[in-house]
Chains A and B, each alone.
Chain A
Amino acid sequence: MKTWIAFSSILMKDMRSYYLKPPNISWGLIFPIAWTLMFFLRSPVAVEVRDLLPGVMALSILFGTTSMLAVTITFERKSRSFERLLLAPISLNLLMLAKTSGAIMFGVVNAFVPVIFASFLSDLSGINWFMVLGSVILIAITSTFLGLFIAVSVSQVFEAQTFSNFFRFPMLFLCGLFIPLSDLPAFLRPVSYALPLTYGADILKTAINYNGIISVPLSFLMLLIFSVILFAYSTYNVNRKWIL
């Protein structure tokens, strides 16, 4: 019970301080909207909107979570308020979960902004929404934990931002969303399969357009493995680097 009070308070505070702040809400909305418009305006045929949906959703999550978490944690470290959390009687794992769940939820909400748009432009029947939700949640988790990984690797806010892009842009091009995996040069393909987004995007493709190429259970498993590794590595680093 006591742990739950601490957990939910950390989460609520982050919601209010970061994710529900007007600039971030609008950023969280404008960004997916911009992506949506950019792609959808180029594709006048309604069917193509649906083709683009998995990519735009994945991007909205990636851009809504990774740098957001990396920046807020780096910022709290600089202002020393993160120290107060480390001094609280809650385990490091639970603390890091509390800090990341806000960003995860933010990412999930962001993912559905393009869906709302697409629903006006295209027929969205026949989509496996359970599968969509599952992959959206797992993409949000891996992207957020990637942000956590970045936060423990840098010490300045601008580094967090730069480092986030360092991961995000290659992921965009290598995840198979815009360039099919089969069209990538052979030497880049192993890199694609080492990126969590590749698996998330593939599930979305299967769920929305039935054209994924990786088996869905395998993709889910890979996303879970990425989540566990990124989280374990990050908390290990928090303990090693921030508790001197």
Chain B
Amino acid sequence: MKIIEVENLKKTFNGFTAVDGVNFYINQGEIFGFLGPNGAGKTTTINMLTGMAKITEGKVKLMGEDYTRNAKKAQAMMGIVPDESNLYEELSGWENLVFCGALYGMEKYLREERATQLLQQFGLAEAASKSFKAYSKGMKRKLAIAAGIIHQPEILFLDEPTTGIDVAFARQIRNLIVDLHSKGTTIFLTTHYIEEAERLCERLAFIVQGKIVREGTVEEMMKETQGENIVNFTLGGDFTKIEEEFRSHFPDFNLRMGKNNDVSIHSPSTFTLFPFVQFFEERSLPVFEAKIVRPSLEEVFVKVTGIELQKMQSEQNQKGRKSQKGGGSRS
């Protein structure tokens, strides 16, 4: 069954089109993901689906029922975890959860029981009575997810659940998401981490500049790279100096720059490594490592969107800086 159906959804802000006619659906019980760079329109889409933003054009349905003009009737069935915390700093973790349960009309004993159980499940039992402002960023995010599911919604929206969270907590949060999924929760998540999308989502859509450029299951997406041969070289110097020369020397190969001095070579047919090694060595670029790369979603994403991974990364950093600054000025 389709929990959410979205038809030709559009959002403009004073003439600027942030979401440009997207179509997608989310099946019951699955994790559906939006993967796209910063500014692609992921948050705006979630806001329209959850009633935080007015819909400029298009239609949204929850379990077959249109709620485009009346999000209130759908909100009871939604759990929403925004990209930034929106819990009460002065309340404890437990009080925050109980309060959120009350917003959905849960009876006192029920919401208290569930709050205690969720804190246990999320490894926050010891911090239950600590005030939210004393929580670390990772703990805050976990509590926000717990608050999002306290009323056992039909669908959970997670906007960039691991962005800005340190590695250990990010792993915990991904495990929690997998765990929720295995218990039957339907999840819509957005991310700009390709591996995260690949690891967590059953179906996903690439979104770039407000448009969905590809949509399907991870397996379907991976077909794009079938037969692709990729070898990654780690060089002892800067490749960009000889890039031009390389391209004219090996016109049939595609190139992709990686981190540091990594460069990967793509070809639809198999190829031998020796000519490349020789080419690099002759130009005083020692080859430290050459390895065959199994195509991943990363390759598909780059191929379909034309967005270099480095660019995604730099945008991520920018975003991290921006939100850090924002957080600083608020406190």
**B86 adjacent to A80 (CB under 8 Å):** yes
Counting CB contacts under 8 A, is B50 at the interface? yes
Residue of B nearest to A76 (CB): B88
**Residue of A whose beta carbon sits closest to that of B144:** A84
B281 to chain A, nearest CB (A): 56
Contact call A83/B54, Cβ cutoff below 8 A: no
Whole-angstrom distance between the Cβ of B190 and the nearest chain A Cβ: 16
User: Interface of B with A (CB < 8 Å)?
Assistant: 13, 47, 50-54, 72-73, 75-76, 78, 80, 82, 84-91, 99-100, 102-108, 330
A49 CB → nearest B CB, Å: 40
A5, B105: Cα distance in complex, Å: 5
Give the distance in Å from the alpha carbon of A85 to the alpha carbon of B80 in the complex: 12
Contacts of B13 in A (CB 8 A): 244
- Which residue of the partner chain A has the closest CB to B329? A78
Given the complex, which residues of A lie within 8 Å of B107, measured CB to CB?
Answer: 5
Q: Are B99 and A17 in contact (CB under 8 A)?
A: no
What are the residues of chain A within 8 A of B108 when measuring CB–CB? 5
A111-B75 Cα distance, complex, nearest whole Å: 39
**Residues of A participating in the B interface, judged by any CB pair closer than 8 Å:** 1-3, 5-6, 9-10, 13, 17, 78-81, 83-91, 243-244
Q: How far is the CB of A3 from the nearest CB of chain B, in Å?
A: 7
A9 (CB) vs chain B CBs: closest residue: B102
A88 to B87, CA, bound (A): 13
Contacts of A2 in B (CB 8 A): 104-105
Chain B nearest Cβ from A84, distance in angstroms: 5
Residue of B nearest to A1 (CB): B105
Q: Please determine whether A243 and B51 come into contact, CB atoms closer than 8 angstroms.
A: yes
Q: What are 18 A-B contacts defined by CB distance under 8 Å?
A: A1-B105, A2-B105, A6-B103, A17-B88, A78-B330, A79-B88, A79-B330, A80-B82, A80-B85, A80-B86, A81-B88, A83-B82, A89-B72, A89-B75, A89-B104, A90-B72, A91-B72, A243-B53
Q: Closest CB-CB distance, B160 to chain A, in whole Å?
A: 15
